[in-house]
Amino acid sequence: MKVTIFGATGLLGRECLSQCLEAGHEVTVLVRTPDKLPAPLRAQITVVEGDGLDDEAVERALSADTEGILFAVGIDARSPEDLCTDITRHILAAMRKLGIRRLVWCGGGNTVGGEDVVSLGSRFVLLFSRYFMALRHRDKLHQIALLEESRDVAWLGIRPLQMRKGARRGGYRVGFDRYSGLSQITAGDCANEMIRMLVDDTWLHEAPVIQY
């Protein structure tokens, strides 16, 4: 499968890249700093240097024969407002132009959706995010709203709780189950589920929570 990854130099993106190669996929990445990728990995993939906030760079990283896109862009305190939302907007425009069907993205458990089981734990996560992770929280809300308006594109997503560095281990749950501030998942298992979603329509146009 021909896959393009956005955010390949981050914690989740590295796992997506490694697992895609392990699965035999043909991978292209869009990165601002190619040297952040180890040389052995760069030798196995197509590297497009550029910024996801540049619509022309996004289109260069895609082609009419791209079969799936993995969105693993992370946010930190230095990120601009609506980083993920704006990159997603460029990706959706390119998908429509080139006829690309599949987008799998990673959101955050700090956004509560209509199908979530709203518990004391989920309320705590939401309040904590609003006050202490406000930039990330606003961006993810806006990204989900944009995707909800884009049902002409086959997108799917996951929302991890406290994603930690760690390898794929399995035994995780995906769905609209109860969660709390103690719920966790490794980047390896997030990547595993995202890659699985490249060929599975179970959660089409939905973004379930992923947790142990």
| pLDDT reported for residue 110 | 66
Strands of 90-203, DSSP E: 102-106, 154-160, 163-164, 173-175, 185-186
| pLDDT reported for residue 162 | 86
SS3 159: strand
- CATH fold for domain 2-211: Rossmann fold (3.40.50)
Most confident residue range from 22-31, 132-141, 159-168: 22-31
Which one has a higher pLDDT value, 104 or 114? 104
Model confidence at 131: pLDDT above 60: no
**Cα 100 to Cα 102: distance, rounded to the nearest angstrom:** 6
Ranges 82-91, 108-117, 164-173: which has the least confidence: 108-117
Band (115; pLDDT cuts 50, 70, 90): confident
pTM: 0.91
113: nearest Cα among 180, 165, 67, 159? 159
Strand-by-strand arrangement of the 46-49 sheet: 46-49, 26-31, 2-6, 68-71, 102-106, 154-160, 209-211, 173-175
| pLDDT reported for residue 150 | 97
